[in-house]
A and B are shown apart, each in its own frame.
Chain A
């Protein structure tokens, strides 16, 4: 079982951040909320490991 990675892990953080904002360009709040929800579900499924997911949930609420 792996641990949640909380050290830098993304190649090109600025590129990712730009891409993340770009998918919301010109969207309504409602559309953006829906996109974010779908994104969370897609990423969560990719991670899969329930211990890692639980750790991520608790990091997010702090």
Chain B
């Protein structure tokens, strides 16, 4: 028997004996996922929807306590929507548009995010991580009920792995003792401290930030607190630390993050009276609240050198970790799964070469580096590392109070936007004089249609999107069926579809990957060139 490492918000997959435990020889599975957090469950959803059997192993029996990742960005929600669980998230989450920035004792400016129209999902929602996980587990149960070959095994702790050329042997400990299974592919979604990474002796390198954050989730008793994001640089209230962030979550719960420095006595800081002293200083004496959850965390900006080690592939925090500024943790992990799922599916089904999985490494390292760069920039603005960087930081804040030009330089976190896979070997050269935001490598931006939204029409296959252009309704190449989605600019009377996909071009044909990234685009259909672009997008042909 082994103990939980953390408390659960709720049980979701209690230990049950598996038939695999009673076999004489280890049972072989196509895919085993290590870790039942959001990224592991998303992996099971992606593959399960393709009919590929997946076993998820988790050393706990449910979802961990605490709000943790609370900001889920548009692309992350669009991916969840593709998996069938975006709508309950949107319904539960809090949307905010007004932010206020404070420096020391005064408000320097406020901003309205003025969201772009014509998307099913907002730029982001705030929501406690356990809800995010719950909605995905609910969908996993729905898929199972419809016969998808996926299972999640609680209290199954991976003790040892043996990586061979064509499979991985996995030793598991359960409350009823050990057993062994084998996997054609093992996906490591076991979090920032990834035991799997340790077992394989793989490096995780980058910058450690000598700082810690005290998080308090508080429920306002009779709060008329506005739905706004407040960020303080050098807050004036007693011992608040270098920065403080306040924003709203569902259920009248507010999240407060105090940046409290490196040399802190964790046990002392986490005493309720000490947390209340900080909160009271910030909120004033008249605000009544209950404590819901608190924690102290530290962060690093690190990544693995490679996200693939033969038959083992890493995703989410196990592969890369960033600072919390900009909400790039869970959001980028979901983009990892989005990228990996279809590639692994094609390789397992024999429709694409094994080398397609190396492009997961290429594209998501590109994404991880972008996230690390952005979150490091935010960190350097929030906690200047030298006298001169503090002088410039304070100058920006000072000027931002009266001059609009300085406000874009104020960096309290740049919100996660989808990574564009510029330069990916899967892209075909851009053959359309169209908008930059839909160039090959981009995630398709949503657009409103008469009867819904564009992304829902794309789904999760290869798609040929034609806008005022002719093309066959389906196209088959090497066992892959490409489905046409035929639209006209007139299908969106608001003009967003044309603005996002045509620009000045009168017509366009887009080849779109199952993860809804653009593989190729042209002004019209050309059978040879589209087939060539498809072969390239599945790693069968180098770009010429």
Q: Give chain A's interface residues, CB within 8 Å of chain B.
A: 33-34, 37-38, 40-42, 45
Check B399–A42 contact: CB distance below 8 A.
yes
Check A34–B399 contact: CB distance below 8 A.
no
Contacts A41-B399, A42-B399; A34 near B391 (Cβ below 8 A): yes
Q: Does B468 contact A (CB under 8 A)?
A: no
Which B residues are CB-close (under 8 A) to A38?
395, 398-399
Residue pairs across A and B with Cβ atoms less than 8 A apart, 17 shown, are A34-B394, A34-B395, A37-B395, A38-B395, A38-B398, A38-B399, A40-B392, A40-B395, A41-B392, A41-B395, A41-B396, A41-B406, A41-B409, A42-B399, A42-B403, A45-B405, A45-B406
CA distance A37 to B395 in the complex (A): 6
How big is chain B's contact interface, by range? Answer: 10 to 19
CA distance A38 to B392 in the complex (A): 7
CA distance A34 to B390 in the complex (A): 10
Query: Looking across the interface, which residue of chain B has its beta carbon closest to that of A37?
Result: B395
Contacting residue for B398 out of A33, A34, A40, A45, CB 8 A: A34
Q: Majority SS of interface residues in chain A?
A: helix
In B377-414, which residues have CB < 8 Å from any A CB?
391-392, 394-396, 398-399, 403, 405-406, 409
Query: Looking across the interface, which residue of chain B has its beta carbon closest to that of A42?
Result: B399
Which A residues are CB-close (under 8 A) to B392?
37, 40-41
Which B residues are CB-close (under 8 A) to A33?
391
**B8 to A: closest C-beta gap in Å:** 49
CA distance A24 to B258 in the complex (A): 36
CA distance A33 to B389 in the complex (A): 11
Chain B 438-472 against A: per-residue CB contact (8 Å), 1 yes, 0 no?
A: 00000000000000000000000000000000000
CA distance A35 to B259 in the complex (A): 28
Query: Looking across the interface, which residue of chain A has its beta carbon closest to that of B398?
Result: A38
Which A residues are CB-close (under 8 A) to B394?
34, 37
**B392 to A: closest C-beta gap in Å:** 5
**A33 to B: closest C-beta gap in Å:** 5
**B538 to A: closest C-beta gap in Å:** 38
Which A residues are CB-close (under 8 A) to B398?
34, 38
Chain B 403-431 against A: per-residue CB contact (8 Å), 1 yes, 0 no?
A: 10110010000000000000000000000
Of all A-B residue pairs in the complex, the 3 with the closest CB atoms, nearest first, are A37-B395, A45-B405, A38-B395
